[in-house]
Structure 1
Amino acid sequence: MRIALFQAQTGIDPAANASALTQAVEAAAAGGAIMLFTPEMSGLLDRDRARAERHLRDEETDPVLSALRRAAAEHGIWIHVGSLALRGGSDGRLVNRGFLIDGEGAIRARYDKIHLFDVDLPTGESWRESAAYAGGKRAVVAETPLGPVGLSICYDLRFPDLYRALSNAGATLLSIPAAFTVPTGEAHWHVLLRARAIEAGAFVVAAAQTGCHEDGRETYGHSLVVDPWGEVLLDMGLEPGLGFADLDPARIEEVRRRLPAIRHRRSIGEPEVMR
């Protein structure tokens, strides 16, 4: 099963971003991919909120989502749109929403990022995602030609309980699109993605943003595909572009037989604290 990942350097113009994405869809289909995976914030990456405000739409009118649905139907390929910034949060905030689009252009699943990135980094970078975005409330697993896919976004990576829930629900592939900062990426990106794959006995596909963006931020890149044993099948480094990986579904059962950790999981209550 061949997949494609688009490692993007998303900018502040949704029309330009949509053009790059649809070109990636065409190239992925031509390369024999069943599904294309794109990063978090595929349609717009702009930390100037006043400037970004002019481009924000709801799901029904977002031009990037519409363009990707048309491209999926034209080329007969599934797409996991890592996420888009959209209006439509229940409290007036935005949502950071991923979409699973089938080969006819229909939306098969939606996922709103649950864990929001509110941190102060030693480099002086400060991020308050919750100031603009409402967090999601539910985990999502969707049936695809690749098998059951568990959806997540970026900072979710740091919360293993989410991936336990996804694999308990049958997910054999975990999609983790991201726009990781360089300091956190250098420290934790590879080790966390490999850990999630090993814990779940599942493939991990992580399409990422990379490089210096128009809004001044810098992202880590290194879009990865990891197999259920934790072996890195693809590392795209720092350059934007398209990458391919071939997944062997038999590898999942092989690894889960070899190390049946999922079957050994137990529900654990609150620990007894000895004082």
Structure 2
Amino acid sequence: MNQATSPFKIAAIQMVSTPQVEENFSTARKLVAEAAQQGAQLVLLPEYWPIMGWQDSDKVTIAESLGAGPIQRFMAGLAKEHNIHLIGGTLPLISQESGKVLNATLVYGPGGEQLSHYDKIHLFSFNKGEESYDEARTISYGKDVTTFNAPCGKVGLSVCYDLRFPELYRAMGDCSLIVMPAAFTYTTGKAHWEILLRARAIENQCYVLAAAQGGKHPNGRRTWGHSMLIDPWGEIKMVLPEGEGVVSGEIDADYMRQVRENLPALRHRKL
């Protein structure tokens, strides 16, 4: 594993994003600054942080080309200003499919340079009573499993519904940290969010950092929240149930190595 001397401080930002991009910029700016003041060296924004529109198609209207646009400039500037690794939750990038976007995670280094890019692979759909979602109507499927190297080691990128597909995380290989920006619905989050996050940490014997949308949005949607940091033994180190705020903690490489030595499950894999 490529790891720096521990501990390495990380943070997740929880938001209740609105249909107004500039309003969300203001919230993200404030919370990322708060995380940096707490000593965070890597900060994760939630899924859909720049916009939770009145309707799903609103994100198509603000989609950017990769490498250009106000949302990307904003994230690069934040990373550089605070000298951090910033994992930008998701933003809409222009897709080759008409009327759709890629739900993309972009990673920026402390100098504001783009380090990595992941397009969400698994697209959420859910129907129960009056609750109905189908992301594939406005989002194109991503294709590539993506990781990048940070001072804490290899970081695996995933988004929201990806959490239900453990084979994705096995394909990432040996990670020190898995990140999960999300906008889980209240219904599915209450039932499955914590148990799935803890399972991914336990089975991969690594840290999991989850940054969620958490509250009642102007468009009427309610998201589950409960941003959290989980250690390689599956213990929740910090959690924020609802509302805006910061969840922070440390990656302890020595502790992760000890967990893997005590229970060498990763070495015992046969498939």
TM interval, shorter chain, is over 0.9
Offset of residue 188 of structure 1: 0.4
Unpaired runs of at least 5, structure 2: 1-7
SS at match of 2:267: coil
Change (3 A) 1:252 1:94: same
Larger radius of gyration: 1
Q: Deviations over 1:201-257 (max 9, x none)?
A: 010000000101111100000001100000000111112112221221112111111
SS at match of 2:25: helix
Alpha-carbon distance in 1 for matches of 2:218, 2:130 = 20
Structure 2 residue 144 is matched with structure 1 residue 138:
yes
| Corresponding residue for residue 192 of structure 1 | 196
Alpha-carbon distance in 1 for matches of 2:171, 2:218 = 37
1:224 is matched by which residue type in structure 2?
M
Alpha-carbon distance in 2 for matches of 1:225, 1:7 = 12
Alpha-carbon distance in 2 for matches of 1:198, 1:49 = 34
Unpaired runs of at least 5, structure 1: 268-275
| Corresponding residue for residue 87 of structure 2 | 80
After superposing the two structures, state which structure 1 stretch, 54-63 or 231-240, moved more.
54-63
| Corresponding residue for residue 4 of structure 2 | none
| Corresponding residue for residue 22 of structure 2 | 15
Offset of residue 26 of structure 1: 1.9
CA contact (8 A) 2:60 2:138 kept: no
Give 1:157's match in structure 2, choosing from 163, 169, 188.
163
After superposing the two structures, state which structure 1 stretch, 221-230 or 44-53, moved more.
44-53
In the TM superposition, 1:94-113 aligns within 5 A as: 94-113=101-120
CA contact (8 A) 1:34 1:145 kept: no
Structure 2 residue 125 is matched with structure 1 residue 118:
yes
Structure 2 residue 43 is matched with structure 1 residue 39:
no
Change (3 A) 1:263 1:52: closer
Alpha-carbon distance in 2 for matches of 1:72, 1:50 = 29
2:225 is matched by which residue type in structure 1?
G
Alpha-carbon distance in 2 for matches of 1:50, 1:225 = 32
Count, aligned residues: 263
Identity of aligned residues (%): 37
CA contact (8 A) 1:116 1:155 kept: yes
- The root-mean-square deviation of aligned C-alpha atoms, in Å, is 1.4
Give 2:183's match in structure 1, choosing from 172, 179, 182.
179
Give 1:91's match in structure 2, choosing from 87, 93, 97.
97
Alpha-carbon distance in 1 for matches of 2:71, 2:224 = 23
Offset of residue 124 of structure 1: 2.5
Structure 2 residue 267 is matched with structure 1 residue 260:
no
Alpha-carbon distance in 1 for matches of 2:266, 2:115 = 27
SS at match of 1:263: helix
Alpha-carbon distance in 1 for matches of 2:224, 2:248 = 19
